[in-house]
Amino acid sequence: MSKNPESVSLCPLNSAAATEPEPLCIFGTGDLGRSLGQRLLQSGYRVVYGSRKPHSCGPLPPGTQAMSHSAAAQSAALVFICIHREHYNFLETLAPQLQGKVLVDVSNNLKKNLYPEANAEYLQRLVPGAHVVKAFNTLSAWTLQNGPSDANRQVYLCGNSAEAKQAVAETATKLGFTVLDRGSLCAARELEDFPLQLFPEWRLPLRIAVGLTAFFYFYLLIRIVIYTYVQKGDDISFRIMVSLANKVFPIVSLIMLSLCYLPGVIAAFLQLYRGTKYRRFPDWLDRWMLCRKQLGLLALAFAFLHVLYTLIIPQRYYVRNRIAGSTILLIKENKTSAFDSALAWRSDSFLSTGILGFGLYVLLGITSLPSVSNALSWREFSFVQSKLGYLTLFFCTLHTYLYGWNKFLKPTSYPWYTLPGYLLCLIVPTVVLVLKFLLLLPCMDRSLTRIRQGWDRTNKVDDGEKSLLA
């Protein structure tokens, strides 16, 4: 160790130990501590465990050694604290042995704001002479034992000592993880909140999807099933499982796809109204724009369900039997219908726009995958997600218009004076397409392009402020 007590050194204590693997210490012999020790051993380190009961602490990875906390702390310069916060008090008595050591806090809490300060900050206060680094808390015991995977290979860390963070970063890199430095120890609470989050970017899109599904399902249930039973006395409740669901899925899919592009249109008109790009958007618009990817993926999922319900799920037996009976009846009566060219055009156009729209839908979903989007340049990614995205919205909207055709002219389409579901779902995409068309007009497009290139109508924002706000 260096003569300076504040310095950090992970060098061997003597030349004889230089040929031995670097020793690391782990306080705690639970699942996380054992898994971390196993991974460290596989990466070439020598592991020493510190335990209250070193002779009865359960099975440990072969090749490790268990001893008292005091003895274990003196054997290594880097100590992993794999114990819960409520058991940190004994560390205060080990302050002399932990002086100048690097303490890696891997703890988490059961819920947010459980304590007034972060666990790592509390640990630093208990052992002020040590260098506390928050790290490895976002990894599970399974990940540590089996090695990094594509979905979990990042290690977030923070601390007040650059040397201490560098030592932990080198260890994490040797274990096969990618290190992301989040700054000083003040960021420890943010890191401790990471494992408590449950799909934070998906919450708003999921709520929208569930809300739209529930609304349209019960809306169509009233229009179709309940109305038929009350007015005509016919029980068609069997349609709830397949037919009704297959009406809800495309409606929700089209609306959610529209919601992916509506915030961009709103942002463009807001910039035109303000005459500048150097003013922040409202918080609700920022949040909306940040979840567009999730909205699009959920919209694609509903489109897949629509396709599956339409093409793969077999028809019900008694429906087929009814169709077969009607066909036999027509044959017996020698009734034939003339070929309707307009109906054929409408039917083929309806199917073709649906197929094209779904194909573009899938293309948008594929380019959203990190492995694909990382292989595209920004211009290519923008072209697919913007230009082809609006084309997808156009085809899907046209597909719905062709489905409705002239049904809206029939009084029977409005039971209990309610609008058909397809008419309601056309409102949002039609608004988006109309507004986008207005933005493409030369006068609007030129002004918007100038604003996004830095032109400011008010001329009140100086160059320094622009560079900060851009």
pLDDT value, residue 77: 94
Closest CA to 26 of 37, 13, 18: 37
pLDDT digits (tens, 9 = 90+) for 88-109: 999 999 999 999 999 999 999 8
404 — phi, psi (to 5°)?
-75, -40
pLDDT digits (tens, 9 = 90+) for 435-470: 999 999 999 999 999 998 888 887 654 444 444 444
Helix (H) or strand (E) holding 65: strand 65-67
Closest CA to 319 of 373, 388, 239, 258: 239
pLDDT value, residue 330: 47
At 155 the three-state DSSP class reads strand
∠ Cα 70 73 75 (to 5°): 115
Average pLDDT of the residues in 206-216 = 96
pLDDT value, residue 462: 47
pLDDT value, residue 243: 86
pLDDT value, residue 430: 97
**Helices marked H in 156-282 — which ranges?**
162-174, 188-193, 203-220, 227-232, 243-274
pLDDT value, residue 466: 46
Beta carbons within 8 Å of 74's beta carbon, 6+ residues apart:
97
Tokens standing for 12?
Answer: 């061997």
pLDDT value, residue 333: 52
CA distance 401 to 349: 11
The answer to whether residue 288 scores a pLDDT higher than 90 is yes
The answer to whether residue 46 scores a pLDDT higher than 60 is yes
CA distance 351 to 343: 12
pLDDT value, residue 459: 63
Beta carbons within 8 Å of 141's beta carbon, 6+ residues apart:
31, 32, 34, 35, 36
pTM greater than the 0.95 cutoff? no
pLDDT band at 338 (very low <50, low <70, confident <90, very high): low
What average pLDDT does the chain have? 85
The answer to whether residue 372 scores a pLDDT higher than 80 is yes
Mean pLDDT lowest among 61-65, 212-216, 253-257, 336-340 = 336-340
Where exactly are the structural domains of the chain? 15-196, 200-461
pLDDT value, residue 198: 74
At 154 the three-state DSSP class reads strand
DSSP letters for 243-265: HHHHHHHHHHHHHHHHHHHHHHH
Residue 48 to residues 10, 32, 165, Cα–Cα distance (Å): 15, 15, 21
pLDDT value, residue 340: 74
- Environment class of residue 38 by beta-carbon count within 10 Å: exposed (0-12), middle (13-18) or buried (19+)? buried
pLDDT digits (tens, 9 = 90+) for 408-425: 888 888 999 999 999 999
Average pLDDT of the residues in 225-248 = 89
pLDDT digits (tens, 9 = 90+) for 20-32: 778 999 999 888 9
pLDDT digits (tens, 9 = 90+) for 139-197: 888 878 776 655 467 899 999 999 999 999 999 999 989 899 999 999 999 999 888 87
- Helix 427-440 / helix 389-404 crossing angle, nearest 10 deg: 130
272 — phi, psi (to 5°)?
-65, -40
pLDDT value, residue 149: 59
pLDDT value, residue 422: 92
CA distance 197 to 112: 9
CATH code given to domain 15-196: 3.40.50.720
pLDDT band at 19 (very low <50, low <70, confident <90, very high): low
pLDDT band at 407 (very low <50, low <70, confident <90, very high): confident
At 83 the three-state DSSP class reads coil
Helix (H) or strand (E) holding 79: strand 78-81
Tokens standing for 146?
Answer: 């089996």
